[in-house]
Structure 1
Amino acid sequence: MPWWAEMLIGIAIALVVTWVALIVALAVARPKGPLLQEALRLLPDLLRLLRRLAADPELPRGVRIRLGLLMVYLAVPIDLIPDFIPVLGYADDAIVVTLVLRSTVRRAGLAAVRAHWPGTDDGFEALTRLTGLRPADAQPTR
């Protein structure tokens, strides 16, 4: 077998293994029970929140970069998990958004996120449940 064919097979195997690892990571990190439904319900407010946070120059650069990459991920029509896979197929965007928001709240603090929240107080309460943080836990780390 020519060297280029072996290389293509190796790349294909690496891509499949990486894809399976991402599916497993998303399945483990997904919100449990009603939190997943809350994440899907809050998605429009979350998208506005992401845009506002990414444009805030007072947030750490790493947070803004992470939020910008998340917005690019959401804009790309190709999903990590195809929609025909039950539950995770439709929820992968909500799971990825939740993971990035957890990281953002831990880094920037819940007060910064609250200042940019476009939705209702009930929606913000759901957001704090999704991030897994209470206001006392969400102190920024700089």
Structure 2
Amino acid sequence: MPAWLQAILVVAAVMVASWLVLIVLARRLPPGLAKDLAAFLPDCVTTARVLRRDPRVPRRAKVAVVFAMLWVLSPIDLLPEFLPVIGPLDDVIVVALVLRYAARSVPRQVLLDAWPGERRLIERLVGPGRRAQPPPPG
């Protein structure tokens, strides 16, 4: 087997292992900050999958969501995945920024319904709900 293929397989295995650790930690840790952080990326991936398929989500938001999913799945990272704690940080930041962007064009309830985790986390991420604009005069 060529060395480059072995390297790709090792990187893929490390990524999958780190995701599995996050999923296990998200389910087993007691409530608190550590559990919230461990669950954040898996919850973001689930939300992205749901938003990508929802017909109420505008095309530009879907493109941004697909970009975030590709970023998370890509073996090329700003911070290598094998670094403890900070490895998935670039993934978390990109996904958080994309969700904030999507929240501007996606109906708030659609975004909240797509989020499988603690509701307070997605509400904190996307900010307070916008107040309804009064209809224009005339």
TM bin (shorter chain): 0.5 to 0.7
Q: Which runs of 5+ in 1 are unaligned?
A: 1-33
Q: What residue identity is the alignment partner of 1:102?
A: R
CA contact (8 A) 1:79 1:92 kept: yes
Write the distance in 2 (CA, Å) between the matches of 1:127 and 1:138.
20
1:11 is aligned to none
2:43 to 45, 49, 60: 45
Counterparts of 1:30-69 in structure 2, within 5 Å, are 38-69=36-67
Describe the shift of the 1:41–1:118 C-alpha distance in structure 2 as closer, same or farther (beyond 3 A): closer
Residue 14 of structure 2 is matched in structure 1 by none
Q: What is the TM-score with the length of structure 2 in the denominator? A: 0.60
Q: Secondary structure at the match of 1:134?
A: coil
Which residue does the alignment assign to 2:73? 75
Q: What is residue 5 of structure 1 aligned with on the other side? A: none
Per chain length, whose mean CA-contact separation is higher, i.e. which structure has more relative contact order (CA < 8 Å, sep 6+)?
1
Give the match for residue 7 of structure 2. Answer: none
Partner of 1:136: 130
RMSD: 2.9
Equivalent position amino acid for 2:77 in 1: D
Contact persistence 1:35–1:130 (CA under 8 A) = no
8 A Cα contact 1:105 1:138, kept in partner: no
SS in 2 for 1:136: coil
Query: Aligned residue pairs: how many?
Result: 102
Structure 2 residue ranges without an equivalent (≥5): 1-31, 134-138
**Is contact 2:115–2:122 with CA below 8 Å preserved after alignment?**
no
Within 5 Å, which residues of 2 pair with 1:1-142? 38-83=36-81, 88-119=86-117, 123-131=118-126, 133-136=127-130
CA distance in 2, matches of 1:48, 1:99: 16
Structure 1 position 80, deviation (Å): 2.0
The residue type paired with residue 80 of structure 1 is: L
* TM-score, scaled relative to structure 1: 0.59
What fraction of aligned residue pairs are identical, expressed as a percent? 36
Higher helix share: 1
Q: What's the offset of the Cα at 1:39?
A: 4.5
